[in-house]
Chains A and B, each alone.
Chain A
């Protein structure tokens, strides 16, 4: 961040005081609502709390139990699998959609709305719709079979190994539009002169995109990636709406694990331990990004 110019000494002090006073509610909110609840979760995760929080400290026992629970490992594994598919597919699809719209196609406004529309829908509605579409007895499989392909199979949603792909499919359908919007803004920021220069040099269009445009819109891509990654960690409603964590426990995700133990299984100690682990995951994702961003800004400042 650039350092603001020093204010003139006399009037400034009062202004600072006023500014600080105005910011006070926000500071209190941050301290109490964010840091406070985080600390509370950490404290509870070190206790033997069941239905109600208590102060019977048991050290890291809840974490030990958490990491000996099959379902927790499975949900972490699912989250990783879902995350890789979801982020890569969303970025790829979003980028192609953005490039497509950037060709100054007719009806751009309408297309943009259509592509972004799924994002306006809640994950619960998305999940339910996809649940019907993927249900082997009702949806796509049955429809194709009735078209005269009796051996057509598309039963991902009831398959142990493929159910996460089915969920990722629905999630990608929903979120690719957001990536498109972000990257389109990035593409629009690319100077027209660069395109002209590239055309004069006879560089193929795909090459321009790969070697020149992509690096230029890197900040937009980074933003999209972070947003998508946070979506991965929070993933909950699409799973609940589509499979309820099934078949069996094949599509469990950490957020659902936490909600189950928090409300249904009356073990907020374990649930808190799980949410602390998730928080650490978020930090592990965010910190490198913040660090890189910081470095880049410093470098940019040096260049000027």
Chain B
């Protein structure tokens, strides 16, 4: 049970199905359009006593409550055999290992805050090198604006504004600030000059978006880069699917960088499958087989190339992957750069409240003082 319904996504899920069927299972596909709808359907079926064998969630706290209620089977056997403890990145482990048991099988790592740029647009605006600091980025955006292009392509939907925001906290505020805010729920840090600067700089980005931004879908924003109408987009690596569909090549038609400088934090998100509780021995066998086949090195490369994400393990053959994915995989080997996406650190309702506040700040003339106060209220949960 999953929500991978777009072209690139269903091609990717076929890779999982093929691998599972090859290892002797029988893949029964239940795709529900839309992540929220799919998660609600999965939870309803689990509570109603007719659970799917496996259900997809984001690598996050979305399934924490289901674990607490004892409604999931653990897959410790698979994890032990495959040495997940040493193989998986720490943020992923902390998201799927609860009270010493593994409750979910990760299938990919998405980095939600890549900076994408259109090479023709950069050329037209006379920008010769990739921005390496926030100031250079602002300078580049100014040049794009002067060249009559849309400097920043943004889909003005709450979650996209939120991605822009937390990228900014991580890349400009730094890992410490990011962790104090999202992980420690430190209300005091919000009122520091550093955090206030993040807020004002974030708001400054707004002047580089176009009037049509509100309500736009992320893929429409990406196609603004593909057609050279816009310069930069901050979006997850799923954007590569759009570039691929348009037959564009990383490094030639478009560029990507995950942040500023060689030590920039790499935000880890992704998708997992959980395995609802059942006593049926066959079903348990199927669950474990699924977890094994999904995480095997070969499946990981085949699946993630189509999905746009990178494998959960670094011991894979990187030569078949594109430039951006290879860059991501290299960064993954440096554990100090890995940080968890806010969804893993905040409960869904707290994260939602933060997203609302940011969205309001982005779209209205609200003062920084008000936002600081609102965030302090929300982060406590």
B126 at the interface (CB under 8 A from A): no
Known contacts A136-B212, A266-B62, A249 near B360 by CB under 8 Å: yes
In the bound complex, do residue B356 and residue A71 qualify as a contact, i.e. CB atoms below 8 Å apart? yes
A149 at the interface (CB under 8 A from B): no
| A263 to B374 CA separation, bound complex (whole angstroms) | 24
A244's partner among B215, B348, B357, B362 (CB-CB below 8 A) is B215
Q: Please give the distance in Å from A257's CB to the nearest CB on chain B.
A: 10
In the bound complex, do residue A248 and residue B360 qualify as a contact, i.e. CB atoms below 8 Å apart? yes
B65 at the interface (CB under 8 A from A): yes
B334 at the interface (CB under 8 A from A): no
A250 at the interface (CB under 8 A from B): yes
Contacts of A160 in B (CB 8 A): 363-364
B377 at the interface (CB under 8 A from A): yes
In the bound complex, do residue A266 and residue B214 qualify as a contact, i.e. CB atoms below 8 Å apart? no
Contacts of A266 in B (CB 8 A): 62, 65, 347-349
B219 at the interface (CB under 8 A from A): no
| A101 to B39 CA separation, bound complex (whole angstroms) | 50
A136's nearest neighbour on chain B, judged by CB, is B212
| A71 to B363 CA separation, bound complex (whole angstroms) | 13
A155 at the interface (CB under 8 A from B): yes
A260 at the interface (CB under 8 A from B): yes
Q: Which of A51, A158, A270 has the most CB of B within 10 A?
A: A51
Which stretch from B14-22, B105-113, B155-163 is at the chain A interface? B155-163
Q: Which of B347, B349, B377 has the most CB of A within 10 A?
A: B349
Beta-carbon contacts under 8 Å, A46-77 to B: 50-52, 68-71, 74
| A158 to B155 CA separation, bound complex (whole angstroms) | 12
A264 at the interface (CB under 8 A from B): yes
A249's partner among B43, B158, B215 (CB-CB below 8 A) is B158
Contacts of B364 in A (CB 8 A): 160, 248, 250
Total number of A residues with any Cβ neighbor in B under 8 Å: 30
B158's partner among A50, A246, A263 (CB-CB below 8 A) is A246
| A158 to B209 CA separation, bound complex (whole angstroms) | 13
Main secondary structure of the interface of A (DSSP, over half): loop
Contacts of B40 in A (CB 8 A): 263-264
Q: Please give the distance in Å from A258's CB to the nearest CB on chain B.
A: 13
Total number of B residues with any Cβ neighbor in A under 8 Å: 33
In the bound complex, do residue A158 and residue B214 qualify as a contact, i.e. CB atoms below 8 Å apart? yes
B377's nearest neighbour on chain A, judged by CB, is A68
In the bound complex, do residue B349 and residue A137 qualify as a contact, i.e. CB atoms below 8 Å apart? no
| A71 to B366 CA separation, bound complex (whole angstroms) | 14
Q: Please give the distance in Å from B116's CB to the nearest CB on chain A.
A: 22
Contacts of B211 in A (CB 8 A): 136, 155, 158
| A160 to B62 CA separation, bound complex (whole angstroms) | 31
Contacts of A52 in B (CB 8 A): 47, 65, 69
A245 at the interface (CB under 8 A from B): yes
Known contacts A158-B214, A249-B158, A264 near B363 by CB under 8 Å: no
Q: Which of A70, A157, A244 has the most CB of B within 10 A?
A: A70
B349's partner among A68, A155, A249, A267 (CB-CB below 8 A) is A267
Q: B354-371: contact bitstring with A at CB < 8 Å (1 yes, 0 no)?
A: 001101101110000000
In the bound complex, do residue A70 and residue B357 qualify as a contact, i.e. CB atoms below 8 Å apart? yes
B69's nearest neighbour on chain A, judged by CB, is A52
Interface residues of A (CB under 8 A from B): 50-52, 68-71, 74, 136-137, 155, 157-158, 160, 243-250, 260-261, 263-267, 270
Other contacts beyond A50-B347, A246-B214, A248-B161: 19, CB < 8 A: A52-B47, A69-B356, A70-B360, A71-B360, A155-B211, A158-B156, A158-B214, A246-B158, A246-B215, A247-B156, A247-B215, A261-B349, A263-B36, A264-B348, A264-B352, A265-B348, A266-B347, A267-B348, A267-B349
13 contacts between A and B (CB under 8 A): A51-B69, A158-B213, A158-B214, A244-B157, A246-B214, A247-B215, A248-B161, A249-B359, A260-B352, A264-B40, A266-B62, A266-B65, A266-B349
- The 9 A-B pairs of least Cβ separation, nearest first, read A248-B363, A247-B214, A51-B65, A267-B349, A265-B352, A158-B214, A263-B40, A265-B349, A248-B359
